């Protein structure tokens, strides 16, 4: 594609024409200039022998700036006779639709047959005008087409009939004429616009299952785009949480993958025996069904969206606390190769690659990516003299994307990950050195997961449809020795998850009335094959459990614009689930035989169903400021506890949350400054909490009440070219309203909910110069964090600093990095078990290294 400058025009307009060829449709792009050149008079004289044709051609090529760009008409006698006796065919445009893209907007003019001719264009103020000859509008309503403010930066799109055989397209920008490219393909003429060419910050999300500007979404959502993911080296859920207010995620990543813990807006997952987490985690539309399976190697990411608050009317899997939506990079016809490698302290090494290409032009594309991450241990085991806590992660993903027609897409996605870690970083509470232990037995943690998903999408004139069929299998094994070899937990956990989600929704061109209707089915077989615990002086105890659950749901939401500035929305979900469980609890004798400690539970059953509403409104106070109010219910079904010691402990009840939120979203200085504020309150009844007994060990699931109130503020700014500032702060007060521990007889009411820091904040300053210099500094901070219901174990406020500096060229980059630059010591988890020492997990010490990236 050749590009030419337009004096006084803030963009480039290109035309792509279909050309016949043996490999299928090929495209030719011609620059359309708006300034007549002084040399045209000379060209006119040379074309006098073909007067009739030249007069027609003059309009379309009069703006071409170089004679070499002109395609001269055919001048043989036969050609001239043929041209004079040929009447141009008038083409009917039967459909016009707008399609939002990551860079802006596409205006698509469709015909039933025939190719639309090349438009002639000019610029008038902030409007790009394109005239198309030999065409008439034949739209279903018999009228012209107009759309007001389809995306930020574009004031209007208008398509009108000028005369009997000419159509005019008017593309009006808010401040400047839009950047435009025009291409024709398969009975379509497509105008591609980049929205707000002067705007610096614009984030397109699919949080509501349709592409839209994040500032238009009446939900508290943190968006992390691809470039920011790469700059911040985000490759895990820990990294995602670090960029999100009121989101805390801890992983004893050198082992102990079973004990990933998090909190979002004061709701945590400390109870890992419940049916489902309070937060739904998705990777490419496939949910992750258990918190122990979250310690994954994320790779080749396009975007991350973190939605805070209950989400039940737009997503297949219900969630009471929020959604973390991971979107990987999609296959495209464009060839691409990317590689990166890094090496650092503790022999840390990482290698990533991605390959993308078309297998069949414009029809079938393939993308594959892989990553390996490894690191030696940094924990000294005094008993053996070994350095333990080594890490190893291997992950790969592939996507095959088929686009048989412009309206249909079919993709097959596969994700596979294997974790093989050494002993976790657990130690006693308050040790003299957190990275020295005395273990007679050294532990390990292994996690193997593979996912396959088939996604079929239809994007039609009247509606859109999406079907997602997925299977996910995960296997986990852990050996977690105690601080003096006193205890080890051996888990063999397997899960097979089948999901089917189906959505129908309004077309992307819908403005005043938007709707979505969906259904969801989930089949989950969760098996704990062998969980053993050693108690010195008491013996070894063994538990098994097999939980099978089926979930059915239908959900929907409608958004209606009452007036231009006011939109109301309401949604409803009906969910039903049936579960059955088998479990045993036995002591392991010295000769290996088993003695039952309670009767085995066989084919125990529980059923739940609920209606879950969501409603609210958003009001556009002015073009730069939007406010919204949301009231939504969150829900988690009841279930069966395989660790129950008696019939009375077997069942736990449904959890219900009422969430109230008020928010403001604003963008200023042509999107160079974005500032968002939200205030929320969660009122939770029958919160499913994991209860600990006097020995500090867990077993019973209790239903208690809690409340969480908080505020969140996010800011993104571009104060100067190449300079970016990102900041956020979250505050939450999450406490139990009434909680009586039936095992210990202690009243825990008014205690703080564990794992939820009262304050989270981050500040990032980054500079990328035209000359190639890159520099980035991050400050992350956390307020007081409690780790147990009695609030005896806590981490005082602390802050971490990360830094990165490098040089970037067009095809490669080299960087130096340091994480936890000042070697801060802090705990990420804490337990009162075993009494009296307790147990704590510790964050990583300072790490540093070098990274190299290249793309081709």
The three-class DSSP label of residue 459 is: strand
Torsion-angle region of 57 (φ positive above 0: left; ψ -120 to 50: alpha; else: beta) = alpha
The answer to whether the Cα torsion of 48, 50, 51, 55 is positive or negative is negative
Q: Of 50-54, 323-327, 461-465, where does mean pLDDT reach its minimum?
A: 50-54
Question: What CA–CA distance (Å, rounded) separates 54 from 677?
Answer: 61
104: Cβ contacts below 8 Å, ≥ 6 apart:
151, 153, 154, 178, 179, 192, 193, 194, 195
CA distances from 572 to 209, 307, 412, 518 (A): 16, 18, 30, 11
Structure confidence at residue 261 (pLDDT): 87
804: Cβ contacts below 8 Å, ≥ 6 apart:
231, 233, 774, 775, 776, 777, 815, 816, 817, 818
Structure confidence at residue 21 (pLDDT): 36
667: Cβ contacts below 8 Å, ≥ 6 apart:
152, 201, 215, 624, 673, 674, 675
DSSP-assigned beta bridge partners for residue 395? 371, 417
The three-class DSSP label of residue 692 is: strand
Structure confidence at residue 191 (pLDDT): 84
Residue 483: pLDDT band by 50, 70, 90 thresholds? low
On the question of pLDDT at 273 being above 80, the answer is no
Query: Judging by beta carbons within 10 Å of its beta carbon (0-12, 13-18, 19+), is residue 48 exposed, middle or buried?
Result: exposed
| Six token digits for residue 33 | 């200039």
Report yes or no: 116 and 133 within 8 Å, Cβ to Cβ.
Answer: no
Report yes or no: 606 and 651 within 8 Å, Cβ to Cβ.
Answer: yes
Question: What CA–CA distance (Å, rounded) separates 92 from 111?
Answer: 6
| Six token digits for residue 175 | 């401040």
Question: What CA–CA distance (Å, rounded) separates 151 from 212?
Answer: 8
CA distances from 395 to 226, 245, 373, 521, 747 (A): 19, 28, 9, 27, 46
Range among 186-195, 290-299, 378-387, 776-785 rated most confident: 776-785
| Six token digits for residue 254 | 């050198």
Residue 113: pLDDT band by 50, 70, 90 thresholds? confident
Report yes or no: 812 and 854 within 8 Å, Cβ to Cβ.
Answer: yes
Neighbours of 582 (CB within 10 A): 17
Radius of gyration of the chain (CA): 31
Q: Express each pLDDT in 125-181 by its tens digit.
A: 788 888 888 888 988 877 788 888 788 778 889 999 888 788 999 988 877 788 777
Interval 393-408 mean pLDDT: 94
Question: What CA–CA distance (Å, rounded) separates 243 from 248?
Answer: 10
Report yes or no: 412 and 399 within 8 Å, Cβ to Cβ.
Answer: yes
CA distances from 329 to 204, 401, 644, 856 (A): 14, 12, 44, 16
Write down the mean pLDDT value for the chain.
Answer: 85
Query: Judging by beta carbons within 10 Å of its beta carbon (0-12, 13-18, 19+), is residue 429 exposed, middle or buried?
Result: middle
Q: Express each pLDDT in 497-527 by its tens digit.
A: 999 999 999 998 888 999 999 999 999 999 9
Interval 5-33 mean pLDDT: 34
Q: Of 26-30, 420-424, 510-514, where does mean pLDDT reach its minimum?
A: 26-30
- Owner of token pair 């579960």: 579
DSSP-assigned beta bridge partners for residue 661? 630, 680
The three-class DSSP label of residue 259 is: helix
Query: Judging by beta carbons within 10 Å of its beta carbon (0-12, 13-18, 19+), is residue 312 exposed, middle or buried?
Result: buried
Residue 553: pLDDT band by 50, 70, 90 thresholds? very high
The three-class DSSP label of residue 76 is: coil
- For 48, list phi and psi in degrees, rounded to 5: -65, -25
What is the enclosing helix (H) or strand (E) of 101?
Answer: none
Whose CA is closest to 521, among 505, 504, 503?
A: 503
592: Cβ contacts below 8 Å, ≥ 6 apart:
none
Long-range CB pairs of 74-79 (<8 Å, 24+ gap) are: 75/49, 75/50
Structure confidence at residue 836 (pLDDT): 76
DSSP-assigned beta bridge partners for residue 567? 561, 618
On the question of pLDDT at 487 being above 90, the answer is no
The answer to whether the Cα torsion of 317, 321, 325, 326 is positive or negative is negative
Q: Express each pLDDT in 650-672 by its tens digit.
A: 999 999 999 999 999 999 988 89
On the question of pLDDT at 784 being above 70, the answer is yes
Q: Express each pLDDT in 196-247 by its tens digit.
A: 444 456 666 777 777 788 888 999 999 999 999 999 999 999 999 999 999 9
480: Cβ contacts below 8 Å, ≥ 6 apart:
255, 256, 258, 424, 426, 443, 445, 487, 488, 489
Interval 318-328 mean pLDDT: 94
Whose CA is closest to 201, among 219, 220, 180, 223?
A: 223
The answer to whether the Cα torsion of 790, 493, 260, 501 is positive or negative is negative
- Taking the chain, what is the end-to-end CA distance rounded to the nearest angstrom? 19
Report yes or no: 301 and 283 within 8 Å, Cβ to Cβ.
Answer: no
| Six token digits for residue 327 | 């979107």
On the question of pLDDT at 95 being above 70, the answer is yes
Q: Express each pLDDT in 597-651 by its tens digit.
A: 999 999 999 999 999 999 999 999 998 999 999 999 999 999 999 889 889 899 9
- For 444, list phi and psi in degrees, rounded to 5: -160, 170
Q: Express each pLDDT in 60-77 by its tens digit.
A: 333 333 333 334 444 444
Q: Is the peptide bond before 320 cis (omega within 30 degrees of 0)?
A: no
For 300-443, strand residue ranges (E) read 301-308, 322-328, 336-344, 348-360, 364-375, 379-381, 387-388, 391-405, 408-421, 426-427, 436-437
Question: What CA–CA distance (Å, rounded) separates 821 from 843?
Answer: 13
- For 98, list phi and psi in degrees, rounded to 5: -110, 135
Question: What CA–CA distance (Å, rounded) separates 785 from 734?
Answer: 11
Structure confidence at residue 163 (pLDDT): 81
CA distances from 352 to 30, 62, 298, 355, 368 (A): 38, 50, 11, 11, 11
The answer to whether the Cα torsion of 353, 354, 359, 364 is positive or negative is positive
Question: What CA–CA distance (Å, rounded) separates 367 from 522?
Answer: 28
Structure confidence at residue 319 (pLDDT): 93
Residue 529: pLDDT band by 50, 70, 90 thresholds? confident
Question: What CA–CA distance (Å, rounded) separates 430 from 832?
Answer: 12
Structure confidence at residue 482 (pLDDT): 67
Q: How far is CA 302 from the centre of its chain?
A: 8
On the question of pLDDT at 4 being above 60, the answer is no
Q: What is the DSSP track for 804-852?
A: EEEEE-SSEEEEEEEESTT----EEEEE-PSTTT-EEEE----EEEEEE
Q: What's the pTM?
A: 0.78
Residue 42: pLDDT band by 50, 70, 90 thresholds? very low
451: Cβ contacts below 8 Å, ≥ 6 apart:
283, 286, 413, 414, 415, 416, 470, 471, 472, 473
Structure confidence at residue 50 (pLDDT): 40
- Owner of token pair 């813990």: 261
Torsion-angle region of 819 (φ positive above 0: left; ψ -120 to 50: alpha; else: beta) = beta
Interval 455-475 mean pLDDT: 95
Q: Of 4-18, 259-273, 444-458, 519-533, where does mean pLDDT reach its minimum?
A: 4-18
């Amino acid at each position: 594609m050749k590009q030419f400058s337009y004096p006084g025009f803030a963009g480039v307009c290109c035309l792509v024409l279909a050309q016949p060829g043996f490999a299928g449709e090929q495209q030719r792009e011609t620059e359309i200039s708006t300034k007549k050149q002084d040399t045209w008079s000379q060209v006119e004289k040379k074309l006098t022998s073909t007067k009739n044709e030249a007069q027609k051609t003059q309009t379309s090529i009069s703006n071409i700036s170089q004679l070499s760009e002109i395609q001269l008409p055919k001048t043989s006698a036969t050609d001239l006779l043929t041209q004079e006796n040929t009447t141009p065919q008038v083409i009917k445009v039967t459909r016009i639709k707008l399609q939002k893209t990551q860079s802006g907007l596409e205006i698509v003019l469709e015909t039933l047959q025939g190719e639309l001719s090349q438009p002639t264009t000019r610029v008038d103020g902030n409007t790009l005008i394109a005239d198309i000859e030999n065409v008439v509008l034949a739209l279903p309503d018999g009228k012209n087409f107009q759309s007001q403010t389809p995306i930020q930066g574009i004031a209007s799109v208008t398509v009108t009939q000028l005369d009997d055989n000419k159509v005019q397209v008017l593309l009006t920008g808010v401040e400047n004429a839009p950047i435009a490219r025009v291409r024709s393909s398969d009975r379509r003429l497509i105008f591609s616009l980049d929205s707000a060419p002067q705007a610096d910050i614009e984030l397109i999300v699919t949080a509501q299952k349709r592409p839209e500007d994040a500032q238009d979404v009446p939900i508290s959502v943190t968006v992390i785009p691809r470039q920011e993911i790469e700059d911040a080296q985000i490759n895990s859920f820990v990294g995602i949480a670090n960029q999100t207010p009121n989101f805390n995620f801890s992983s004893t990543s050198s082992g102990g993958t079973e004990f990933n813990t998090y909190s979002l807006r004061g709701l945590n997952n400390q109870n890992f025996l419940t049916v489902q987490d309070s937060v739904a985690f998705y990777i490419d539309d496939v949910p992750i069904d258990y918190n122990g399976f979250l310690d994954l190697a994320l790779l080749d990411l396009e975007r991350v969206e973190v939605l805070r608050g209950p989400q039940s009317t737009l997503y297949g899997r219900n969630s009471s606390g929020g959604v973390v939506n991971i979107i990987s990079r999609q296959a495209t016809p464009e060839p691409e190769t990317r590689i990166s490698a890094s090496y650092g302290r503790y022999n840390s090494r990482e290698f990533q690659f991605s390959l993308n290409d078309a297998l069949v032009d414009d029809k079938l594309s393939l993308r594959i990516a892989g990553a390996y991450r490894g690191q030696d241990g940094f924990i000294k085991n005094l008993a053996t003299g070994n350095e333990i806590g080594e890490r190893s992660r291997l992950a790969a993903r592939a996507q095959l994307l088929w686009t048989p027609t412009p309206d249909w897409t079919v993709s097959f996605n596969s994700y596979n990950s294997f974790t093989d870690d050494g002993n976790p970083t657990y130690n006693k509470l308050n040790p003299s050195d957190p990275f020295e232990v005395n273990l007679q037995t050294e532990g390990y943690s292994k996690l193997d997961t593979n996912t396959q998903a088939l996604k079929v999408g239809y994007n039609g004139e009247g509606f859109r449809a999406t079907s997602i069929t997925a299977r996910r299998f995960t296997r986990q094994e852990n050996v977690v020795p105690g601080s003096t070899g006193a205890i080890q937990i051996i888990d063999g956990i397997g899960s097979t998850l089948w999901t089917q989600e189906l959505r129908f929704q309004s077309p992307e061109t819908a403005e005043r009335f938007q709707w979505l209707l969906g259904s969801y089915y989930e089949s989950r077989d969760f098996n704990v094959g062998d969980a053993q615990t050693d108690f010195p002086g008491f013996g070894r105890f063994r538990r098994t459990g097999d939980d099978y659950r089926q979930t059915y749901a239908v959900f929907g939401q409608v958004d209606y614009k009452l007036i231009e500035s006011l939109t109301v929305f309401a949604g409803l979900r009906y969910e039903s689930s049936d579960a059955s469980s088998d479990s045993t609890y036995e002591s392991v004798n010295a000769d290996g035989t088993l003695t039952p400690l309670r009767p085995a539970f066989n084919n125990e059953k529980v059923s739940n169903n609920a209606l879950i509403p969501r409603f609210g409104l958003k009001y556009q106070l002015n073009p730069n400021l939007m406010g919204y109010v949301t009231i939504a219910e969150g829900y988690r079904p009841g279930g069966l506890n395989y660790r129950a010691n008696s019939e009375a402990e077997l069942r736990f009840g449904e959890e219900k949350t009422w969430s109230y939120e008020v928010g403001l979203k604003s963008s200023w200085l042509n999107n160079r400054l974005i500032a968002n504020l939200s205030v929320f309150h969660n009122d939770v009844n029958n919160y499913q909490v994991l209860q600990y007994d006097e020995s500090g060990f867990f077993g019973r699931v209790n239903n208690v009440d809690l409340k969480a109130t908080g505020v969140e503020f996010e800011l993104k700014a571009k104060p100067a070219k190449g300079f970016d500032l990102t900041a956020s702060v979250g505050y939450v007060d999450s406490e139990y309203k009434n909680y009586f521990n039936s095992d210990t007889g202690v009243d825990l009411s008014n205690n703080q909910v564990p794992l939820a820091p009262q304050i989270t904040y981050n500040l990032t300053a980054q500079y990328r110069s035209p000359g190639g210099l890159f520099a980035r500094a991050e400050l992350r901070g956390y307020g007081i964090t409690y780790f147990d219901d009695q609030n005896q174990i806590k981490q005082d406020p602390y802050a971490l600093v990360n830094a990165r500096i490098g040089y970037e060229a067009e095809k490669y980059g080299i960087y130096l990095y340091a994480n936890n630059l000042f070697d801060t010591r802090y705990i990420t988890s804490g337990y009162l078990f075993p009494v009296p020492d307790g147990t704590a997990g510790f964050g990583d010490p300072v790490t540093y290294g070098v990274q190299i990236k290249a793309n081709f």
